[in-house]
Amino acid sequence: MNTFLPFTRPSIDEDTIADVVAVLRSGWITSGPKVQALEQALNTYLGGHRLVRTMTSATGGLEMALRAFGVGVGDEVVVPAMSFAASANVVIRTGATPVFVDVDLRSRNATADALSAAITPRTRVLMPVHFSGLACDMDAINTLAQAQGLRVLEDAAHAIGTRHQGRLIGSFGDMVSFSFHANKNMTTVEGGALVFADSSLTLAIDRERFHGISKDAAGNIDVTSAGGKYNLTDVAAAVGIGQLRGLDAFNRTRRALAQHYFMRLSPHLEPDQLPTPGDDGHSWHMFAILLPWAKLGFSRDTFVQKMKEQHIGIGIHYPCIPGLSYYRQLGFDPAAYPNAQRIGAETVTLPLFPAMTTMDVDRVCDALLALIQPQKGIV
């Protein structure tokens, strides 16, 4: 019997495990020298000229960044309709309003033109999302933002190690939020990082990260705002340092596996059912395809169950945000975003992680094609 193949799994080596044990034995397990070392390592990885702050999640980072930008009641933030719900939830939590835009069907990314059409006098921030590790056209988006006097907050939860025009995402631009959740290309178990260049934002981010506290030279504290608590632990940072060492190798493997998926599936699926192939800058956080369930004659739930019976895990990334109950209650209509609505209804995420082999990809494709080939000519 085949062992179960999940849709993702982290790769954590023995050196990293030993580093975690050393932190636990040190007696200093919360934010301390390892957090500082991880932040410095990330800065070095991104070219050495950025400001880096780690935190407990990319979601927290997005909210911290919006608050540092001064976003609040009466403001608008432009967000893709296809992303994880957190991209919009953080806007709501600041008191501002998300303004959704549709995405390109294959890249799942919002274009500069789509973002531009959504700008109103109340817009404060553009929030492009680098879906699945494929970079948005940041040259065009940053040019648009500069012309309109807007801030840019890149939701790069999928995009650590991604490159745009040869430059690492996070090595340039206004503000970038990375995720180090357990299913991401590198992990701190849970965690994230903000990367930015504007030093005037540092104090606001530092205070928001830890209770709004400031300290004088003698160590006396004051609280100057109702900050949150988002500080990363040294235990988590030790995992992150080890993961960062392997990141480029992880991403090379992901690219090779993605190319094998294309080789196997391209003869059987229409181009718009496959993601954009990308280039060597694509970090391939996920490999998600679209399947026309009504034409196939069975539901996505049935597909997921049938693949599970073959000991293969399938993810669903993501529902269209305006179609979620909370956003429907706010008056959003998913039909206004037809590409995002179709992606949300048809998407399935196939297994993709560095410990896989091309034989694992073949196993997934064989099982998938066995399910859809009885309907040959439909897909």
Give me 75's structure tokens. Answer: 């403001």
**Of 9, 34, 80, 27, nearest in space to 240 by CA:** 34
Give the pLDDT of residue 378. Answer: 42
CA-nearest of 309, 373, 372, 318 to 347 is 318
List, in sequence order, every beta strand (DSSP E) within 50-169. 51-55, 76-80, 97-101, 123-126, 151-156, 163-164, 167-168
Q: How many CB atoms lie within 10 A of CB 29?
A: 16
Which residues 6+ apart lie within 8 Å of 298 measured at CB? none
Q: Are 184 and 57 in contact (CB under 8 A)?
A: no
Whether domain 247-375 has CATH 3.90.1150.10 = yes
pLDDT at 97: 98
Question: What pLDDT score does 373 carry?
Answer: 85
The token pair at 256 is: 């090779």
**How far, in Å, CA of 163 to CA of 157, rounded?**
14
| pLDDT score for 375 | 52
Name the nearest CA neighbour of 357 among 253, 249, 250, 265.
253
Told to judge if 184 belongs to the known catalytic residues of this protein, a careful annotator would answer yes
pLDDT at 2: 86
The stretches in the chain having pLDDT less than 50 are 377-379
Residue spans of the domains in the chain: they are 14-240, 247-375
Q: Quick one: angle between helices 300-309 and 358-372, nearest 10? A: 130
Contact status, residue 287 vs residue 258, Cβ threshold 8 Å: yes
For residue 278, the model assigns a pLDDT of 92
The single-letter DSSP state of residue 334 is: G
Q: Can 14-240 and 247-375 be said to share one CATH topology?
A: no
**Which one is catalytic: 184, 215, 306, 376?**
184
Which structure tokens are listed for 98?
């998300």
Largest CA distance in the chain: 75
Q: Which of 378, 343, 375, 363 is nearest to 270 (CA)?
A: 378
Of 230, 199, 186, 211, the C-alpha closest to 62 is 230
CA distance 22 to 334: 50
Three-class SS state of 156: strand
What CATH fold (topology level) applies to the domain 14-240?
Aspartate Aminotransferase; domain 2 (3.40.640)
CA dist 109 and 104 (Å) reads: 6
